[in-house]
Amino acid sequence: MQEIPISHILFVSTALFFIGMYGLFTRRNMITMLMSIELILNSVNINFVVFNKYLYPEKLDGIFFTIFIIAIAAAEAAVAIAIIINLYRNHQSIDVKDAEEMKY
Partner 1 sequence: MNITHVLFWFLSVLALFSALMVITSRNPVHSVLWLIVTFFAISGHYILLNAQFLAIVNIIVYAGAIMVLFLFVIMLMNLNKSTEPKKNRWLQWAGAIAGLCLLLVLVAALKDTEIKGQAAQVNEGEIGLIKNLGKELFSTYVVPFEISSILFLSAMVGAVVIGKASPNPSEGRA
Contact positions with partner 1 (CB under 8 A) in 29-88:
29, 31-32, 34-36, 38-39, 42, 45-46, 49-50, 53-55, 57-58, 60, 63-64, 66-68, 70-79, 81-86, 88
Q: Is residue 4 a contact point for partner 1 (CB under 8 A)? A: yes
Q: Smallest gap, in angstroms, from Cβ of residue 103 to partner 1?
A: 19
14/99 with CB nearer partner 1: 14
Residue 4, number of CB atoms within 10 A of its CB: 9
72/102 with CB nearer partner 1: 72
Contact 91, 99 (CB under 8 A): yes
Q: Smallest gap, in angstroms, from Cβ of residue 65 to partner 1?
A: 10
Grouping H, G, I as helix, E, B as strand and the rest as coil, residue 47 is: helix
Q: Is residue 96 a contact point for partner 1 (CB under 8 A)? A: no
Contact 31, 84 (CB under 8 A): yes
Residues 99 and 86: their CA atoms lie apart, in Å, by: 12
In the chain, what's the furthest Cα-to-Cα distance? 61
Residues 98 and 30: their CA atoms lie apart, in Å, by: 11
Q: Is residue 21 a contact point for partner 1 (CB under 8 A)? A: yes
25/104 with CB nearer partner 1: 25
